[in-house]
Amino acid sequence: MKFQPIKPALFSKNRERFIKAMLPQSIAIFVSNDEWPMNADALHAFKQNSDLFWLSGVMQEDSMVILFPDHPDPKYREVLVLVRPNELKEKWDGKRLRANEARAISGIETIVWLDSIEALLQTWVHLADTIYLSSNENDRKASSIRSRDYRFIDEMKNKYPLHNFQRAAKIMKELRAVKTAEEVELIQKAIDITEVAFRRLLQFIKPGILENEIEAEIYHSFLSQGSTGPAYGSIIAGGDRARTLHYVSNNQECKEGELILMDFGAEYGGYNADLTRTVPVSGKFGRRQKTIYNACLHLHDYAKSLLKPGITIVDYTDKVGEEATQQFLKIGLLKKTDVKNEDPENRAYRKYLYHGISHHLGIDVHDLGTKTEPIKAGMVFTVEPGIYIEEEQMGVRIENNLWITKTGNKDLMKNIPMTVDEIEALMKR
């Protein structure tokens, strides 16, 4: 753990929120993610199940959280299951949590070792009518691998076929979308770390530099500030490569006269930042580059003005699309005939802006949350319009992170330079 300890009240409050949504006489069981094999005897870096972390703050493999608010014995109403520390294994892989350490992190008093949970769990399930299980129902998920939570579902349904099974994901989608003040503090910390890295880059970028050198500076800055590391694979895309939305090769030279699009963010305390800035490699925007950049900045500011409680992401995206159409007409990317003859299912502006404008942000970079229901206060979104022009071998994207308030929103990245003048002044200095 590279970051400072998080107060367990955050996780206690999250458990309280979930328990309030449970049916009477129900038990909820959350299991940790798999340790994924890489090659030979190596493993990929472990990443905790987001729901389990949200409930406990525990980042260790082979862990479980069990919630049974109606259990007749109060000590079993909240249980944290951990792998028993093993002296030989710790010599190879490092120290595992002791019970007192796990209590300090999670706020859960009852700790049970994994090798003794099976018999206990059976008696608890027999007392319950309903079993909530986690199923990672993120709309963007596209994995064909049957992960540990789905294998656990199979196991539980096979053992207890007459119980009423419920999706914990349905509750989590509602709860995790609305952040507490404590969660926003952690997101803000990740953002502040990201800001330091970006300001560092403005002094570092110059013609001839390699994209991977820029990525290395980001990683160095993150780790030196106590971040766990990048929230996702950093996108460092010079010139025409900026039109590839998930460009991660990051191995080409940045040339005089090009723009470079940088999409990166720090992870801190399990929460993430997600920043995109597009800057001139030479330190000064060309005339046409400035025109495109300012059109994108206009769309960014317009989108921010719409993002408030009551609107849905679907309606919001449609409104930004209307404004994008007007901007693209203004800067010569579209003609009136293009708009007049457009396919309603594939509108003309989509040629130059072919992705969504916003997504939920939190423990996951693409966090849980609805697209079709009205936005609520407490949600955190990215705002990231882009303009991608094949004919001009150029891509521009500008992204900030916003916390939705009762009356509007708060830009958590308001201190990060964004205008042409701000960027040019800092790169010149």
CATH number of 126's domain: 3.40.350.10
Residues 154 and 301 in one domain: no
Q: Tokens standing for 221?
A: 């800055």
- Domain assignment present for 188: yes
| Residues 6 or more apart whose Cβ sits within 8 Å of residue 241 | 247, 249, 252, 395
| Domain stops at, among 155, 172, 189 | 172
> What CATH number is given to the structural domain containing 199?
3.90.230.10
- Domain assignment present for 147: yes
| Domain stops at, among 141, 172, 203 | 172
- Domain assignment present for 265: yes
* pTM summary value: 0.96
Residues 186 and 130 in one domain: no
- Domain assignment present for 4: no
pLDDT tens, residue by residue, 352-404: 999 999 999 999 999 999 889 999 999 999 999 999 999 999 999 999 999 99
pLDDT tens, residue by residue, 235-292: 999 999 999 999 999 999 999 999 999 999 999 999 999 999 999 999 999 999 999 9
According to the model, what pLDDT value does residue 58 have? 98
Q: Would you list the DSSP string of 75-129? A: GGSEEEEEPPP-HHHHHHH-----HHHHHHHH---EEEEGGGHHHHHHHHHHH-S
Closest CA to 1 of 82, 60, 70: 60
**By residue range, what is the domain housing residue 233?**
181-428
Residues 165 and 185 in one domain: no
Domains held by the chain: number: 2
Residues 197 and 338 in one domain: yes
Residues 362 and 271 in one domain: yes
Residues 163 and 213 in one domain: no
According to the model, what pLDDT value does residue 1 have? 66
Q: Tokens standing for 235?
A: 């996108």
Residues 168 and 193 in one domain: no
- Tell me the angle at which helices 9-20 and 181-204 cross, rounded to the nearest 10 degrees: 130
| Residues 6 or more apart whose Cβ sits within 8 Å of residue 350 | 321
- Domain assignment present for 23: yes
Q: At CA 138, angle to CA 134 and CA 143, rounded to 5?
A: 90
- Domain assignment present for 111: yes
Which regions of the chain are under pLDDT 50?
none
Pairing of strands 130-133, 26-31: parallel
| Domain stops at, among 138, 172, 206 | 172
- Domain assignment present for 415: yes
Residues 201 and 151 in one domain: no
According to the model, what pLDDT value does residue 371 have? 87
Residues 213 and 91 in one domain: no
Residues 269 and 128 in one domain: no
- Domain assignment present for 2: no
Residues 144 and 254 in one domain: no
Residues 160 and 309 in one domain: no
